[in-house]
């Protein structure tokens, strides 16, 4: 039988596939895969615990390609090790409908653990994955039964290092002592503008000192083209992860971008453009790769094939899990439920009864408080909830009696993220990606901007993450325009697949939480008030419609107009209704996302086409035009705020900005002819 090829050839296979696929697509990034090829051999061939036949194996090591532009490296690895990613897909790199898009996207090629490309977020996702592993191990492992025991590996480059989010997440990883997190830094001294200058003009950090100060083990000065040296470093990292009080590890690997390309190696030109036919041919000659494009010799395939090893590894784990199941049947069942992402079987009953209670209590509280009340019930019932806040726990009201802080050791269900909104968002994505956890995290709505890209990534990946965005309007008062969201609700609603809820009272808040948790395939933002909001009484039929995102809260026979409102402005709409001497319907629209998904019949029953409409929300008016018609339409008006806020007590601000029942009533009169 043919012997497996030497590792040197296995590395060159990665080089060749990357440069050939980029050349075929006539776009892409060959430099990073060519520069990290030996590192990839050391990790994927010698160390990674995975089973290409089952990318969902719960105890697999997680691998994150944070420098996602080098996607061809990952695709080549997945293909060669035996994942269901045929060569035809590599040939269709970057083409419409392929499993090999420009940057790795979770859900397309099997084995892609997270969508990367926006630099810095991948490493932060991996921090979340390592936290999830730690929490699940603490919760489920029992003496003699280490069923959760895997590592999170990351490749990252200068770009990830420069992005601030890597600081936020890696600092937290150091503080938490996430010793099963192992990152390899592709220190090639090149980023995009290196075509015009040296990276030293814009990047002179001492990476070693930076990570040591976070509390990481740093293995510096590793030759990234020496497989043995990288393997030794990985071995040291793995030993650290077994040590009590161990640290996360950063391996700083010196590499040459585009290694193998005779004229383009070590230049910015290798970063993000095809090498060109001539250089590709010259590279083949230089590295001694005498095969046509996309051809991989059998010996190299044999060397890379990890199916048998993977199957054996998973089989071992399954045997161990079988023993665990016998010794701890309930825990085993719970573990499987959690990894599937199913809610506890009593969830619906629990929430129905909570919603009923909430309705009976009819409390006037801030919706942030209403959210905390819901969490008091949810946290004990759903051990998969991992809460947190970016240093605003007492304001966001995300901590409840059942919250246990996550520290350097053991488990817990509440993370003090520190003042790191973006880091929090990207770590939450990692927690959700790992499986077994449903993360929720809080900050002021105005600072959702800081974490926006991570929210977008959650939406793009279809992750169940829940954002508790409090202080949702000028109603927060004296902190002033820096803290008062204006464009935020509208701009969050523009993110595809993000559900946004802005509830008006305790009942809508309870229903919003229920919807967020039942939603398996996308994130939800809860926009909650700082100030108290009155409870609105509803009949049973009305209560049942809240989940549809929009409903008639207060009808009037023969209504001549409809007032649409959300959150704290619902009370203004109801007060305006009373002021008017003709009948008006009031519609509460806590979630335009959910409402827009309803069928046309339902939507038209709530917002009849022939009735003039006035929308009221303490934020930008433009968004509401899709419900009330253009500015030229005499039958539609919006009361909102199209400028920044002011520092003053909340009550005064609502008057100052014209968010009053009188003004709403006036607008209604203006649209009714």
Ligand X SMILES: Cc1ncc(C[n+]2csc(CCOP(=O)(O)OP(=O)(O)O)c2C)c(N)n1
Residues catalogued as catalytic: 421
Q: Is 123 in the site for ligand X (CB under 6 A)?
A: no
Per-residue string for binding with ligand X, 64-93, x by CB under 6 A?
---x-x------------------------
CB-based contacts of 325: which residues, under 8 Å, 6+ apart? 332
Residue 67 to residues 23, 44, 237, 589, Cα–Cα distance (Å)? 20, 17, 21, 41
Listed ranges 151-159, 367-375, 557-565, 602-610: which one lies at the site for ligand X (CB under 6 A): 151-159
Quick one: which of 128, 159, 248, 549 contacts ligand X (CB under 6 A)? 159
Q: Is 158 in the site for ligand X (CB under 6 A)?
A: yes
Minimum separation from the CB atom of position 79 to ligand X (A): 21
DSSP 590: S
Q: What does the block give as tokens for 187?
A: 């220190």
Q: Is 39 in the site for ligand X (CB under 6 A)?
A: no
Q: What does the block give as tokens for 418?
A: 């520190």
Quick one: which of 58, 101, 104, 118 contacts ligand X (CB under 6 A)? 118
Q: Which is nearer to ligand X, 89 or 186 (CB)?
A: 186
SS3 track for 449-481:
HCCHHHHHHHHHHCCCCEEEEECCCHHHCCCCC
Q: Is 271 in the site for ligand X (CB under 6 A)?
A: yes
Rounded to whole angstroms, the Cα distance separating 131 from 467 reads 18
Element (H, E) at 213: helix 207-214
Q: Which is nearer to ligand X, 42 or 382 (CB)?
A: 42
Q: Which is nearer to ligand X, 194 or 524 (CB)?
A: 194
Minimum separation from the CB atom of position 163 to ligand X (A): 6
Q: Is 188 in the site for ligand X (CB under 6 A)?
A: yes
Quick one: which of 7, 20, 89, 186 contacts ligand X (CB under 6 A)? 186
Listed ranges 185-193, 349-357, 516-524, 529-537: which one lies at the site for ligand X (CB under 6 A): 185-193
CB-based contacts of 550: which residues, under 8 Å, 6+ apart? 564, 587, 588, 589, 590, 591, 592, 594, 595, 598, 603, 606, 607
What is the β-pairing status of strands 585-588 and 551-554? antiparallel
DSSP string, 5-56: PPHHHHHHHHHHHHHHHHHHHT-S--HHHHHSHHHHIIIIITT----TT-TT
| Residues in 559-588 at the binding interface with ligand X, rule: CB under 6 A | none
| DSSP SS3 for 305 | coil
Listed ranges 50-58, 187-195, 352-360, 382-390: which one lies at the site for ligand X (CB under 6 A): 187-195
Q: Which is nearer to ligand X, 261 or 500 (CB)?
A: 261
Total residues at interface with ligand X (CB under 6 A): 19
Q: Is 187 in the site for ligand X (CB under 6 A)?
A: no
Place of tokens 């523009």: 494
Q: Which is nearer to ligand X, 221 or 322 (CB)?
A: 221
Q: Which is nearer to ligand X, 311 or 452 (CB)?
A: 452
Quick one: which of 104, 157, 503, 661 contacts ligand X (CB under 6 A)? 157
Rounded to whole angstroms, the Cα distance separating 3 from 198 reads 44
Among the listed residues 579, 595, 558, 588, the one whose alpha carbon sits nearest the alpha carbon of residue 668:
579
Q: Is 119 in the site for ligand X (CB under 6 A)?
A: yes
Q: Is 191 in the site for ligand X (CB under 6 A)?
A: yes
Quick one: which of 31, 111, 550, 636 contacts ligand X (CB under 6 A)? 31
Residues that bind ligand X (CB under 6 A): 29, 31-32, 67, 69, 117-119, 157-159, 163, 186, 188, 190-192, 257, 271
């Amino acid at each position: 039988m043919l012997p497996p090829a030497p590792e040197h050839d296995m590395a060159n296979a990665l080089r060749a596939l990357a440069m050939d696929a980029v050349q075929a697509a006539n776009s892409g990034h060959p430099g990073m895969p060519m520069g990290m090829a030996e590192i990839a051999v050391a990790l994927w061939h010698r160390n990674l615990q995975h089973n290409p036949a089952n990318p969902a194996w719960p105890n697999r090591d997680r691998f994150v390609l944070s420098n996602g532009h080098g996607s061809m490296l990952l695709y080549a690895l997945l293909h060669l090790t035996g994942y269901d990613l045929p060569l035809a897909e590599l040939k269709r790199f970057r083409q419409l409908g392929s499993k090999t898009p420009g940057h790795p996207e979770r859900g397309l090629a099997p084995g892609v653990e997270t969508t990367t490309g926006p630099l810095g977020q991948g490493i932060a996702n991996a921090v979340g994955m390592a936290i999830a592993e730690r929490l699940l191990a603490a919760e489920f492992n029992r003496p003699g039964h280490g069923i959760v025991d895997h590592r999170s590996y990351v490749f990252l480059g200068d770009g990830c290092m420069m992005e601030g989010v890597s600081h936020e997440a890696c600092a937290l990883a150091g503080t938490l002592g996430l010793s099963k997190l192992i990152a390899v830094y592709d220190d090639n001294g090149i980023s995009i503008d290196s075509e015009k200058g040296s990276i030293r003009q814009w990047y002179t950090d001492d990476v070693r000192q930076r990570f040591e100060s976070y509390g990481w083990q740093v293995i510096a000065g590793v030759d990234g083209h020496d497989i043995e040296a990288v393997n030794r470093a990985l071995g040291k990292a793995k030993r650290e992860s077994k040590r009590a009080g161990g640290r996360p590890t950063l391996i700083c690997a010196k590499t040459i971008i585009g290694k193998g390309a005779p004229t383009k190696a070590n230049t910015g030109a290798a970063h993000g453009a095809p090498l060109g036919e001539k250089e590709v041919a010259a590279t083949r000659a230089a590295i001694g790769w005498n095969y046509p494009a996309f051809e991989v010799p059998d010996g190299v395939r044999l060397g890379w094939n990890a199916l048998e090893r993977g199957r054996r590894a998973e089989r071992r784990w399954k045997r161990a899990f079988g023993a665990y199941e016998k010794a701890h049947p309930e825990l085993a069942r719970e573990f499987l439920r959690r990894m599937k992402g199913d809610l506890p079987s009593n969830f619906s009953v629990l929430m129905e009864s909570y919603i009923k209670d909430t309705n009976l209590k009819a409390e006037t509280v801030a919706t942030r408080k209403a959210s905390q009340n819901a969490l008091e019930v949810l946290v004990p019932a759903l051990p998969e909830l991992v809460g947190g806040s970016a240093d605003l726990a007492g304001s966001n009201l995300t901590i409840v009696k059942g919250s246990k802080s996550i520290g350097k050791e053991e488990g817990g269900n509440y993370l003090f993220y520190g003042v790191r909104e973006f880091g929090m968002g990207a770590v939450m994505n990692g927690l959700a990606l790992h499986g077994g956890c449903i993360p929720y995290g809080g900050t002021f709505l105005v600072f959702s901007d800081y974490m926006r890209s991570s929210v977008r990534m959650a939406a793009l990946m279809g992750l169940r993450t829940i954002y508790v965005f409090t202080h949702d309007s000028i109603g927060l008062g004296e902190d002033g325009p820096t803290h008062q969201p204006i464009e935020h609700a509208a701009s969050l609603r523009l993110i595809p697949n993000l559900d946004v809820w802005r509830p008006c009272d305790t009942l809508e808040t309870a229903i919003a939480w229920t919807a967020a948790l039942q939603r398996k395939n996308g994130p939800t933002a809860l926009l909650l008030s700082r100030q108290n909001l009155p409870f609105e009484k509803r009949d049973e039929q009305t209560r049942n419609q809240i989940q549809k995102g929009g409903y008639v809260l207060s009808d009037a026979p023969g209504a001549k107009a409809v007032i649409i409102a959300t959150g704290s402005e619902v009370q203004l709409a109801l007060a305006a209704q009373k002021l008017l001497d003709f009948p008006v319907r009031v519609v509460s629209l806590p979630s335009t996302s959910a409402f827009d998904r309803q069928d046309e019949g339902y939507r038209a029953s709530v917002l009849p086409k022939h009735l003039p409409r006035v929308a009221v929300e303490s934020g930008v008016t433009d968004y509401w035009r899709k419900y009330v018609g253009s500015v030229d339409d005499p039958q539609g008006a919006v009361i909102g705020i199209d400028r920044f806020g002011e520092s003053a007590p909340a009550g005064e601000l609502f008057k100052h900005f014209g968010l009053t029942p009188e003004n709403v009533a006036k607008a209604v009169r203006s649209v009714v002819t």
